[in-house]
């Protein structure tokens, strides 16, 4: 797999570690959405009648915090995707997610520019830069 970032004439250039970290968060999008949805179905608390403190509320609060963090990342990705014109979104998304070639109805440089804008926006939204 090739994760290339143009260095020359790229005002959206990111440090290598930030670029790769952002790419992998974007690639984790579907799993994050599924996990956030699964956290909605909080299982019942197992009690045996004896009070034991706040174990149940701690578990629920951890799940709520985790879900909020996942949804925040998903929202940042969704918002960054909105910055790309609709006709280029699928090409950029499929290139990042599945390493597919860009469609032929526009130049590769156009797609590469929108991909750089998208990745830079996600990195900024996640406070990586």
Its domain, for residue 28, covers: 16-42+52-125
Task: Pull the structure tokens for residue 53.
Answer: 């403190």
Task: Pull the structure tokens for residue 51.
Answer: 């009070």
Q: Does some domain include residue 8? A: no
> pLDDT category, 48, cuts 50, 70, 90?
low
Q: Could you tell me the CA-to-CA distances from 115 to 13, 20, 58, 70 in Å, in that order? A: 11, 13, 40, 22
Backbone φ and ψ for 102, nearest 5 degrees, come out as -70, 150
Radius of gyration, alpha carbons of the chain: 19
Q: Does some domain include residue 80? A: yes
Q: Does some domain include residue 9? A: no
pLDDT value at position 4?
Answer: 78
Tell which wins on pLDDT, 4 or 124: 124
Residue 92: CB partners within 8 Å, gap ≥ 6?
Answer: 84, 111, 114, 115, 118
Q: Which of 22-31, 36-45, 65-74, 95-104 has the lowest mean pLDDT?
A: 36-45
Q: Does some domain include residue 5? A: no
Q: Does some domain include residue 77? A: yes
- Average pLDDT, stretch 101-128? 94
Structural domain count, the chain: 1
Tell which wins on pLDDT, 60 or 92: 92
pLDDT exceeds 70 at position 92: yes
- When the pLDDT of each residue in the chain is averaged and rounded to a whole number, the result is 87
Round to whole Å and give the CA distance between 112 and 48.
59
Give the CA-trace dihedral at 29, 34, 39, 41, to 10 degrees: 160
Q: Does some domain include residue 37? A: yes
Q: Does some domain include residue 28? A: yes
Q: Does some domain include residue 59? A: yes
């Amino acid at each position: 797999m090739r994760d290339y970032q143009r260095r020359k004439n790229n005002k959206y250039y990111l440090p290598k570690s930030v670029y790769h970290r952002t790419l992998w968060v974007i690639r984790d999008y579907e799993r994050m959405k599924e996990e956030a949805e699964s956290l909605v179905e909080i299982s019942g608390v197992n009690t045996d009648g004896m009070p034991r403190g706040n174990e149940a509320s701690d578990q629920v609060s951890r799940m709520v915090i985790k879900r909020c963090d996942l949804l925040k990342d998903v929202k940042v990705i969704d918002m960054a995707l909105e910055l790309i014109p609709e006709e280029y979104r699928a090409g950029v998304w499929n290139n990042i997610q599945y390493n597919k070639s860009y469609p032929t109805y526009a130049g590769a440089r156009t797609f590469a520019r929108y991909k750089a804008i998208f990745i830079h926006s996600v990195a900024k939204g996640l406070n990586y830069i």
